[in-house]
Amino acid sequence: MKKKTMPVDKKVNGLDGNSNLWSYRFQDLNIFSPASTPVSLPTSLPASIPNAPYFDLRIYREPMIKSLIKIQSKDMYRLLGKVHFDGNYYRVKCVSSGEWEYCWYLAVRIQFFGKMLGMALYPKRLVSQKEKRIVYRSMILVNPYQLWDEALVKRFWNLQERVEFLIARILFHECIHVMISLGNILPSGSGNTDIYLEFKKMLEISVSKKLSHELHNVQFRLWNLVLFGSSGSESEKKMLERVQEIYEFLINEKYANQKTGKAFHSSSNNIKIARKYAWMAAVKAGGDKQVSKRIWQVEVRRLRIVLRELFDGIDTELNNMGLAMN
């Protein structure tokens, strides 16, 4: 493979509003109908949990879960105010800009499915030229399979309280991604929330001059991984856009993990986050199509190291500004 180096005269701007952060983090499973709201979800997802007897998840109290979230973010609480956790879509936001109306619908479903704690599906965009309306539909799946985690059992002996706490923690994390997407998509600052503004501040810090060295190192490793995963026909511009999208994905996940960890007193550190998401970023970059598995793995480890350094630098700058999240 002919080796390319990342163009030094083209910076990857983490604040470019044209990038699509969610297109890398989430997969649109195309299992939800674009029909009128509310929409019932399919019932084909498996409802089993490993190493535990089946029980009815409906023991949770929806108001209690929302109250746990309200303590941490009033904006998120308002977002979920009219949403019931039944898998149906509910309108959570509608704003007008010029002749057009922008509406956001959200659905939340709680069900056991494998070992993924939660998933926020890519928002579908539906356009009605006749009604001058653009509708976005987001879906959050919550899987509280860790109910019998030893630390959680010691903390909450009562099963109902344990279910509610775990659902609230997972839902909080996934709602962060929804609210960031809301802020990026809705016009004229209509999606500005406490969560979105905090995330935007972290993103601004990550591309600041004080962290230019750490930023360049991460971008360089991402560029290499995008080259390794390319088909060979992509343009340089397209690959730079992919680097930017994956970079924003990484900052998004740092913020979501750190914010959730602080809110629900769960462990979250830069070493752990960098290890997990460096690998995910490498997979999203395309894998090892152009190089051997060993070379790809070495580059993933290098990304993990520089990513942790960037994350540490972000925390230092936040601390200096009195905005510590730890």
Mapped to the 3 state alphabet, what secondary structure does 13-59 carry? CCCCCCCCCHHHHCCCCCCCCCCCCCCCCCCCCCCCCCCCCCCCHHH
**Which tens digits make up the pLDDT trace of 19-71?**
333 333 333 333 333 333 333 333 334 444 444 445 677 889 999 999 999 99
**Which tens digits make up the pLDDT trace of 5-30?**
444 333 333 333 333 333 333 333 33
**pTM passes above 0.75:** yes
What integer pLDDT is reported at residue 318 of this predicted model?
92
- Which ranges in 73-158 belong to alpha helices (H)? 74-80, 150-155
What integer pLDDT is reported at residue 306 of this predicted model?
97
Whole-angstrom distance, CA of residue 152 vs CA of residue 149: 5
Strand duo 100-110 + 118-128: pairing:
unpaired
Whole-angstrom distance, CA of residue 147 vs CA of residue 40: 26
- Torsions phi, psi for 64 (to 5 deg): -65, -40
What integer pLDDT is reported at residue 326 of this predicted model?
57
Q: Are 285 and 229 in contact (CB under 8 A)?
A: yes
Q: Are 268 and 261 in contact (CB under 8 A)?
A: yes
Residues of the chain with pLDDT under 70: 1-55, 324-326
What integer pLDDT is reported at residue 301 of this predicted model?
96
Whole-angstrom distance, CA of residue 127 vs CA of residue 28: 17
Q: Is 66 helix (H, G, I), strand (E, B) or coil?
A: helix
End-to-end Cα, the chain, rounded Å: 43
Whole-angstrom distance, CA of residue 103 vs CA of residue 272: 37
What integer pLDDT is reported at residue 147 of this predicted model?
86
Q: Is 203 helix (H, G, I), strand (E, B) or coil?
A: helix
Q: Please give the C-alpha separations between residue 241 and each of 12, 13, 213, in angstroms, as whole numbers.
A: 8, 10, 20
